[in-house]
Every structure is written in structure tokens, then in C-alpha cells.
Amino acid sequence: MGGGVRQDGNPSPIAGGRASTDANQRADTAQARTVEYANAAKKGPRLIVLPGEIKSNNATFTQRVTANNIADFAEIELTRANFTVLERNQLGPLLREMELAYNVGNAAQAQRAFQKGSIATTRWVLKFDILKAEPVATSGGGFDGGAAARLIGIFGSGKAAAAGSTVADSVRTSEDAKVWNIGLRYKILNANSAEQVANGYFEEKMELGATSTSVLGVSQRASGQLTLDSLVQRLVQKSVAEIDARYK
């Protein structure tokens, strides 16, 4: 299991080895992808992204993904698609006022908010809501060599049987998979009237998997997954691609 320092300066003592290479290949697969937006050469309207809602009470999801995370991803992708995005941190005390206005569809309150300062020329308000985030399927299994070893001990004899029984008894394997289903909705609202201009919905699934094998004390493990926030980012990218193509 020889290793070496990779060219990227990884100080890991097993950098370049089999385990390191395998783990890095899995990590590369799970990395965020860059999306080329069809109308990126065309300037989009001025807009604001407000934090949306997460309609899931799954603790694993809500501990890793927040409404502000999703809004941050949306601001990054909309900027890449050449929309003029006003950052939320520039809104100051107006942010809460705007959230209340758009959450209840209060046009008068929305108009008052948008008559103030640099946001007066804003055309759209966007929100990205998680409507679904739950594990929908699990599967797993494994092999314990103890039973096979006992059978060899019962029906076999001599050194070969004893050796076979020892090997069989040492074998342990397991394989587990869990599949999540996550759905994201985007809404485009008229900045002045709070009326809905358009909406869309995308769903994706994510599999978390792990395997392990042990024979005569020699073990091998592997696991890999697309992280929940990375999957949400991909859903945001799909949404922005549709907004860019249909509504710019």
C-alpha cells in the first residue's frame, strides 16, 4: 500500500495509495457541478432572493440545510446566469418587513417596502422552498461466516476442514443503502404587487451507501454519498436554468 505526496500538496500519509485514490474519486463525483446557463449573455432583471421555507421535520436534513443556505446557493447561481441580484445583507431591517409582506401576500406592505432606497427598481422577488426531504427506501444485508464454519466442523475432518472452518468463521460482509427524495419549488413574485409571476418544481433522489468486508482479519471498507446540501444546490441550479431559459 505504498503512497506518496500528491501534486496538490495533500499531506496525508497514504496520499496516492489505493484507498486515497478511491476516496478522492468518490469525492470528485459528489462535488458541485458548474452549470452553463443558456441565456447567460443576456442581462436579467434586478431581483432579490428571500429565504424560503423548509417543509420537512427530518432532523438530519434540517441540521445540515437551512433556508439561508438555499438562498445563498440561489444568489450565486442567479448571478452566474447574469441576473442583477441584490444581496440580502444589504437590506438591513427591511429584510424582515419584506419576508412578512411576501409570506402573507400583502401587496400594500410590499409596495411600501419597495419604495425605499436602492431596492425601488427591483422587479422580482424569488423564494426557494423545500417541499420534501425524507429517506424513502433502505436496503441492506450481509454474511456472517460463523454458520458456515460450524457446518464445515460438523461434516469435515482433518487439517483441511479445520483450515476451511477457520477461514469461513472469519468472513464478515455487509452492504447498506439509503435513498433520500428531495423536492424543491421556486416562486417568482412581482416585487411591487407580491403577486406570483411563475413557479416550478424539481425532485431528485440521493443514495447513501456503504460496504465492508473482512476475511482473516483483513478488512476493506468503502462509503460514499452526495451530501444533502450538494443535492439541494443541484436542485437550485435546475431551477435557475429554467428561470433563465423561460422568464429572462
**Residue 59 amino acid letter:** A
Residue type, 248: K
Half-sphere exposure of 138 (CA within 13 A, CB side): 6
Position 35 scores a pLDDT of 92
Which residues, 6+ apart, have CB-to-CB distance to 65 below 8 Å?
54, 130, 133, 228, 229, 232
pTM: 0.68
Domain that holds residue 44: 37-247
Going by pLDDT thresholds of 50, 70 and 90, the confidence category of residue 192 is: confident
Could you tell me if residue 114 is inside a domain? yes
Q: Is residue 164 part of a domain?
A: yes
Q: 208: pLDDT confidence band, cut at 50, 70 and 90?
A: low
Q: How many structural domains is the chain composed of?
A: 1
Among the residue ranges 161-170, 191-200, 226-235, the one predicted with the least confidence is 161-170
**Per the domain annotation, does 228 fall within a domain?**
yes
What is the share, in percent, of the chain residues with pLDDT greater than 90? 35
Distance between CA atoms of residues 39 and 62, nearest Å: 33
DSSP category for residue 13? T
Q: Look up the CATH number of the domain holding residue 180.
A: 3.40.50.10610
| Structural domain includes residue 108 | yes
Q: Is 32 helix (H, G, I), strand (E, B) or coil?
A: coil
Strand order in the sheet with 196-215: 84-86, 46-50, 124-144, 172-190, 196-215, 218-225
How far, in Å, CA of 231 to CA of 228, rounded?
Answer: 5
Q: What are the φ/ψ torsions at residue 40 (nearest 5 degrees)? A: -65, -25
pLDDT value for 114: 67
